Amino acid sequence: MGELEKALRTRRDEGGRSFVPYVTGGVPGVNVELLRGLQRVGADAIEVGIPHSDPVMDGGVIQEASRRSLEAGTRPGDVLATIREAALSIPVAVMTYVNPVLRRGISPFLDEAREAGVAGTIVPDLPVDEADAFDAACALRGIDAVLLAAPGAGADRLARIGAAAHGFVYCVAAYGVTGARGSLSNVAWELVDAVRAHTDLPLLIGLGIGTPQLAAEACGFADGVIVGSALMSRLLEGDPDGTVELAGAFRDAIPIAR
């Protein structure tokens, strides 16, 4: 069990729910001070995106964040350097796509990530059917390889995901791409219920958690939430202080303990 899984299990075992904010590395304002600010307001872990030119899971806000980051010349090593410098006491997971990992090489990429203090990886376009080598390389370095469960997946596939995942299972709350939404779809709780039959890992909902109220609603049946587009919208407006303030509002809406 890696650091990421330990932190989220501890929160769950204490009767609380986890808050994991997402930010795209390399975007102006995504720096050491921001990561430390997110930790200060109560994040249980932080997901930091490594920008990619074809972010197939992401909607308009994160696409724009990736575009700005790449136009600024951001490379994976730059994002990892920020994580290293922040030296957080909570786990950090990096989210990227499989091409940047393969271009660097799985082992070199993970070695650099581990050296930077990364505790988990999220690679949305690496399905469970093709993840064995990557997962094994993560396990050798004590990095939790998070897998995604999507609406519509059958019981056999969810069982494979539950057996292979580490850290937590990222439960995709709706059909489509990332982006803040005004309400939770029924598929969110249906998916969490279905996945829970196949694993004891913490189950976190991501994609579409646009307000603290929705986060609180999601935490009524899930073990926590991942919030990205709502926070990145503030950052793209040039408001890092407002981003941290909004993250605090999400944390305040989510139970910490019984």
Does the annotation mark 47 as catalytic? yes
How far apart CA 153 and CA 94 sit, in angstroms, is 24
Phi, psi for 181 (deg, rounded to 5): -125, 165
Among 46-60, 120-134, 145-159, which stretch is predicted with the lowest mean pLDDT?
A: 46-60
pTM of the predicted model, to two decimals?
0.94
Rounded to the nearest angstrom, the gap between the alpha carbon of residue 113 and the centroid of all alpha carbons in its chain is 15
The one-letter amino acid at 232: M
Q: Please provide the average confidence, as pLDDT, over all residues in the chain.
A: 93
Q: Which of 47, 135, 144, 217 is catalytic?
A: 47
| Average pLDDT, integer, range 11-30 | 97
Q: Measuring CA to CA, which residue among 50, 83, 47 is closest to residue 227?
A: 47
* pLDDT tens string 138-174: 999 999 999 999 988 899 999 999 999 999 999 997 6
Residue 4, SS3? helix
Q: How would DSSP label each residue in 148-201?
A: EE-TT--HHHHHHHHHH--S-EEEE-SSS----BSS--HHHHHHHHHHHTT--S
Give yes or no for residue 114 having a pLDDT over 80. yes
Bridge partners of 145?
Answer: 121
Q: What is the pLDDT at residue 78?
A: 97
Q: What is the pLDDT at residue 183?
A: 57
Q: Which of 44, 58, 217, 223 is catalytic?
A: 58
Give yes or no for residue 68 having a pLDDT over 80. yes
The token duo for 124 is: 């949305």
Q: Measuring CA to CA, which residue among 194, 191, 202 is closest to residue 91?
A: 202
| Average pLDDT, integer, range 79-86 | 98
Q: What is the pLDDT at residue 208?
A: 80
Give yes or no for residue 210 having a pLDDT over 50. yes
Residue 228, SS3? coil
Give yes or no for residue 177 having a pLDDT over 70. no
Give yes or no for residue 242 having a pLDDT over 90. yes
CB 250 within 8 A of CB 215: yes
How far apart CA 144 and CA 167 sit, in angstroms, is 5
Does the annotation mark 58 as catalytic? yes
Give yes or no for residue 181 having a pLDDT over 50. no
